[in-house]
Structure 1
Amino acid sequence: MLSKTFAFALLAGVMMIGSAQAGDVCEEAEARYQEVKNELPSDEGVTVVKLYNYNFCPPKLTVKAGTTVRFVNVDKRTSHSVWLKEAGKEESERFFPVEFWEFPFTEKGEYPYLCGPHWEREGMRATITVE
Structure 2
Amino acid sequence: MHLNFRISGGRSRFAAGPAVATAVALGLLSACGQSSHPPSTGTGAITPGAGQHQTAGMPGAAEPEKTAGSAPGISPTPTPMPSMSMPMSPPSTGAAAAPVSGDAVAIKNFAFAPATLKVKVGTTVTWTNQDTDAHTVTSTGSGGSLRSAALNTHETYSYTFTKPGTYSYLCTIHPFMTATVEVTR
**When the two structures are superposed, what TM-score results if normalisation uses the length of structure 2?**
0.43
Any gaps of 5 or more consecutive residues in structure 2?
1-68, 70-88, 93-101
Counterpart CA distance in 2 for 1:94 and 1:74 is 13
Q: Which has the larger radius of gyration?
A: 2
2:101 matches 1:79: no
Any gaps of 5 or more consecutive residues in structure 1?
3-17, 23-45
Q: Which has the higher contact order (CA 8 A, sep 6+)?
A: 1
Greater Cα shift, 78-87 or 57-66: 78-87
Deviations 1:35-86 (A, max 9, x none): xxxxxxxxxxx811000011000001110000011000011x2000000133
Counterpart CA distance in 1 for 2:148 and 2:115 is 18
Q: Which residue of 2 aligns with 1:127?
A: 180
By percentage of residues, which structure has more helix?
A: 1
4+ residue runs of structure 1 moved beyond 3 angstroms? Answer: none
Q: Provide the aligned C-alpha RMSD in A.
A: 2.5
* CA separation of 1:86 and 1:65: change in aligned 2, threshold 3 A: farther
Q: Which residue of 2 aligns with 1:114?
A: 170
2:143 matches 1:88: yes
- Identity value in percent: 34
Which residue identity lines up with residue 140 of structure 2 in the other structure? K
Aligned length: 88
- What pairs with 1:28-39 in structure 2 (closer than 5 Å)? none
Cα drift, residue 92 of structure 1 = 1.3
Which residue identity lines up with residue 127 of structure 1 in the other structure? T
Deviations 1:10-57 (A, max 9, x none): xxxxxxxx79x86xxxxxxxxxxxxxxxxxxxxxxx811000011000
Counterpart CA distance in 1 for 2:178 and 2:147 is 13
Task: Tell me the secondary structure at the aligned position of residue 173 of structure 2.
Answer: helix
